[in-house]
Amino acid sequence: MEKQILILGAGYGGVKTACGLQRQDIPFTLVNDQPYHQFTTLMHEVAGGRDHPDDYRIALHDLIDPRVGKIRIGTVSAIDWKGRRVQVDGASLEYDVLVVALGSETEFFGIPGLQKYSVQLWGFDSALDIRRRMVELVKKATAEHPVNVIVGGGGLTGVELTGELADWIPHLSRQYGVRPEHVHLILIEAMETILPMLDVELQRRAKQVLEQKGVQVRTGTKVAEVKDGQVIVDGHPPLSYSLFIWTGGVRGNRLLGENGFPVDRKGRVPVDPVFHPKGISDVFVIGDCAAFPGPDGRPLPPTAQLATQMGDHLAQNIGHLLKGTPLNAFHPHLRGTLASLGRGQGIGKVGNWKLAGATARFLKEANKARYLWSIGGWKTFSRKRGQIRLA
Ligand code: NAD
C-alpha cells in the first residue's frame, strides 16, 4: 500500500523536501497555514519597501504538481506521534512518514511588555505591516514631532532590516515632502558589538556602513522592558519610540515541545544524522526546529541555507526508505554568511574570504536566483526574479 507522507510547513525545508519528492514521483501531502511559500530571508526587503511584495512569495500550487503532491492549507494544532496523526484545523490526518519543518518563532526572553508593544519581522504579513506603518509614520514626521523607529537586536535580521529601512527613508521623505532628519532610525544591541557572530573586521564595517546611512547604532544597550512608546534599557535613559521592531532572537516552533518532542533550551528538537528525534523513527525534523550538531558538537544555527540542504537530503533519504535501502547521514556544507546592508551593499564571509560592498551584495543576489531556479526551474525564476538585482 502507498505510504502516506505528510510534510508540515512550506518554508525552505518543507518546500525543498516536497520538490525533491516530486522529482522522484513520490506522492506526499504538504500542509501549510498560508497558500504560498514566502522567501523568509528577504522579508527585510518587503518591510523596507524595495520591490513589489508579490515578488517575495510564490503560490504553492505553482510549485506543486497536483499529480504528485496534495496541498492542504490549514494550521497544525497537534502532533500525535505515538498515534501517527496530526490535527489540522479540526481534521485528523494520518501518516506513515512525517516531516516536521515548522520553522521557528520569535524569542521574547520573558522581557515585560516586549511582545505586547513590539512588532516583529516575522513573515510576509508582518513585513507588509512594517512597510505600511513606515509610510504612515514618515508622512507625519516634523521638527516638533520627529519619528523614532527603533530596531531591537543587532543580529543578522536586525542589521539587514535597518540597512534596508535606512535606504528607504530618504526616498519616502522626498515622496511625502518631509525632511529625512526628522525620521530617526536607531539600532540597539545588548552586546558590545552588532553581529556578534561575525569577525571584528566585518562587525566594524557593518557599523560604519549603517552609520554612514544615518543610523544611530547603540551597542551595550539591553532592552529590559517595553512600555507604550518607551523602551527601558539597562543603564541608560529610556528611549522613546514611534515604532519598535524586535529582532532579538528566535526559538523552535512551540508545537514541538507542546506535543512531547524532546527539545533543547531553544525549543529545538535534537536530531540524529538522518533527522530522527531520539527514538522516533517515523518522524523527521528539519530546518529551524531541528537542533543538528555542527563540527564542534553544538547545534548549528537556524538558517535558510541549512534548511534547504536538509530538505534536499531528506527527499533523497525518503526515496531510499521507500526502496528499503539504507538512509545516508547528512553532512552540512557550511558555505558562510552573507547579509545585505541595504540596497547596494552587503557583508559576509564565504570560506576564508571576507566580503563587503558590492561583491557581497552581488553574491547575495546570485543566491536568490539560484534558490528560485532550484525550486521551480525557469518558470519560477522568470516569474519571481523581480527582486533580483544582479547589475
Ligand atoms: P540572533 O539571535 O542571531 O540575533 C539577535 C540579536 O539580538 C543578538 O545580537 C542579541 O545579542 C540581541 N539581543 C538579544 N536580546 C537583546 C536585548 N534584550 N536587548 C538588545 N539586544 C538583544 O537572531 P536573528 O538575527 O533573528 O537571527 C536568527 C537566525 O537566523 C540566526 O541563526 C541567523 O544566523 C539567521 N539569519 C541569517 C541571515 C543571513 O544569513 N543573511 C539573516 C537573518 C537571520
Neighbours of 319 (CB within 10 A): 17
93 CA to centre of own chain: 27
Tell me the CB-side half-sphere exposure of residue 70, using CA atoms within 13 A: 9
pLDDT in tens, 101-144: 999 999 999 999 999 999 999 899 999 999 999 999 999 999 99
Residue 69: enclosing H or E segment and its boundaries?
strand 69-73
Domain boundaries, the chain: 5-106+250-334, 114-246, 337-391
Q: How far is the CA of 302 from the centre of ligand 1 (A)?
A: 10
How far apart are the CA of 104 and the centre of ligand 1, in A?
13
* Residues 41/364, Cβ–Cβ less than 8 Å: no
CA dist 353 and 380 (Å) reads 31
CA gap 330, 350 in Å, rounded = 21
Architecture of domain 5-106+250-334: 3-Layer(bba) Sandwich (3.50)
Query: How far, in Å, CA of 357 to CA of 361, rounded?
Result: 7
Q: What is the mean pLDDT of residues 204-229?
A: 97
Residue 288 has what pLDDT? 97
Backbone angles phi, psi at 151, to 5 degrees: -105, 120
304-358 per-position pLDDT tens digit: 999 999 999 999 999 999 999 999 999 999 988 999 999 888 999 988 888 888 8
Q: Ligand 1 atom 2: the closest Cα is on which residue?
A: 249
**At residue 58, does pLDDT exceed 90?**
yes
Task: State how far the alpha carbon of 227 is from the alpha carbons of 154, 249, 271, 361, in Å.
Answer: 20, 20, 39, 37
> How many Cα neighbours within 13 Å face the side chain of 193?
14
Which of 11-25, 191-205, 239-253 has the weakest average pLDDT?
191-205
Cα–Cα distance, 366 to 60 (Å, whole number)? 23
Q: Are 283 and 100 in contact (CB under 8 A)?
A: yes
Q: For all residues of the chain together, what is the average pLDDT?
A: 95
Tell me what percent of the residues of the chain surpass a pLDDT of 90.
83
Please determine, for residue 180, whether its predicted confidence score (pLDDT) is greater than 70. yes
Residue 334, C-beta contacts closer than 8 angstroms, at least 6 positions apart: 294, 300
Mutate to test the pocket of ligand 1, among 43, 250, 367 (most ligand atoms within 8 A of CB): 250
- Could you give the CA distance from residue 226 to residue 208 in angstroms, rounded to a whole number? 28
Tell me which of 3.30.300.30, 3.30.70.1150, 2.60.40.290, 3.50.50.60 is the CATH number of domain 114-246: 3.50.50.60
Contact 124, 57 (CB under 8 A): yes
Same fold: 5-106+250-334 with 114-246: yes
Higher pLDDT among residues 309 and 373, named by residue: 309
The reported pLDDT for the residue numbered 37 is 97
Quote the pLDDT of residue 275: 98
pLDDT in tens, 261-308: 999 999 999 999 999 999 999 999 999 999 999 999 999 999 999 999
Judged against a pLDDT cut of 80, whether residue 167 lies above it is answered with yes
- pLDDT at 74 > cutoff 80: yes
State the pLDDT at residue 391.
Answer: 56
Give me the pLDDT at residue 363, please.
86
Quick: pLDDT tens for 379-390: 888 887 877 776
* Ligand 1: residue whose CA is nearest its atom 12: 153
The predicted complex's ipTM stands at 0.96
